[in-house]
Amino acid sequence: MSVDERPIINYLIRMVVPMKREFQRQLDVSQFLHDPDYARRILGEAMTSQDPRLKEFATYIAERLPHAQGAATRPPTRAVPPAPQTLTQGVDVRPATHGDSRAQPSPATQPQKPPTSAQAPSSEEELLLARVERYRTGLR
C-alpha cells in the first residue's frame, strides 16, 4: 500500500455504510482499489446519492484515484432493478432506492405501534411490523 492510498482507503471505509443504507450495495474496498470498472460504477452511484457526505466522499476519491477519473462525470453503468412491492397492513417494506423520496409516510400508511414487552407478538406479520418500526425509529 502506498502512502497516497491511506486517505482513499479511509474515505472508502466511510462510504461502506451509506452505500449499504441507500443503495443496498456492499462495497468491497479491495476490489474497488484493483478493479477500475467496479470503482467507476460505485463512484457513479455515490454521485447520485441524496446524502451530501457520500457525494463528498465520492468526489474526493474520484479526484485522487487514477483509475476512477471518469466516474465523476459518468452516470452509473448498472441499472437498479425494480424493487418488489410488498405491502403489509399499509406498511411499505420495500428497500429504498436512490430515486425514492425521503418524505415521511402519510398517516394512512403509518405502521401500528410495536407491541410492548407485556404483549408478545403472536404472528410473523406482527414481528415484521415491530422490526420495521424499530428500524425506522433508529433502535438498530
Percent of the chain exceeding pLDDT 90 equals 37
Task: Supply the DSSP symbol for 139.
Answer: -
Strand ranges (E), 50-131: 87-88, 91-92
Q: Is 115 exposed, middle or buried (0-12, 13-18, 19+ CB in 10 A)?
A: middle
- pLDDT at residue 76, rounded to an integer: 47
End-to-end Cα, the chain, rounded Å: 34
Contact status, residue 43 vs residue 72, Cβ threshold 8 Å = yes
What is the crossing angle of helices 52-64 and 36-47, to 10°?
150
Q: Which tens digit of pLDDT belongs to each residue from 36-85? A: 999 999 999 999 999 999 999 999 999 988 776 655 444 444 444 555 55
